[in-house]
A and B are shown apart, each in its own frame.
Chain A
Amino acid sequence: DQQVKQNSPSLSVQEGRISILNCDYTNSMFDYFLWYKKYPAEGPTFLISISSIKDKNEDGRFTVFLNKSAKHLSLHIVPSQPGDSAVYFCAASRRGAGNNRKLIWGLGTSLAVNP
């Protein structure tokens, strides 16, 4: 049962254009969402996050949009650069017992930005 779904395993865009990576979730109890980027032979690195009390969070070229009614979030990268080529993971969490948070991960989307 995949609670966090990234339905596009790969995406290819031209340098300078917008990259849109999508993520859907099924558990309405999730209240915090994160995007991670992963290069080959490295661990995932945190990119941007959004709390469920917001519908948008922006950090430079990266913007995350959250649509709670649709249980959908998206990551926009504008303008896309070749160095953005990586696997992008969507993750969701909710506060658990003892105030701990457990991350539930999507399968990832491999982004290729072509020069």
Chain B
Amino acid sequence: SAVISQKPSRDICQRGTSLTIQCQVDSQVTMMFWYRQQPGQSLTLIATANQGSEATYESGFVIDKFPISRPNLTFSTLTVSNMSPEDSSIYLCSVHNGGEQYFGPGTRLTVT
């Protein structure tokens, strides 16, 4: 299994600002994933973060808007840049471990 923690658990931010979300895993994993779940929508993969290389972004997501760091095998950050109300969402960190996918508790972001 994998235990994942995220910080912050929630935040309310002003339009135009940026927020960095941290994800910590209790074991070393090669790939970490960042998802978001907008109100009334399904979970959507933003990007895959491999340690030591550039993150791979899904269609519709770009590095300038969602820069990701992956400094080691247990930690990653996702920054939501120049926020707008449309970025209000739950952001989830996830890892594959032992053939299963585990999720963090999520970060609930509200942009006003």
Contact = CB atoms under 8 A, between A and B. Distances in A.
Interface in A82-101: 89, 91, 100
Interface residues of B, number: 19
Given A43-B94, A89-B43, 18 more contacts: A4-B42, A36-B103, A41-B9, A41-B105, A42-B105, A42-B106, A43-B92, A43-B103, A43-B104, A43-B106, A89-B42, A91-B43, A100-B31, A103-B45, A103-B101, A105-B43, A107-B41, A108-B42
Given A43-B4, A43-B92, A105 B42 contact: yes
Interface of B: 4, 9, 31, 40-45, 48, 92, 94, 100-106
Contacts of A91: 43
Contacts of A43: 4, 92, 94, 102-106
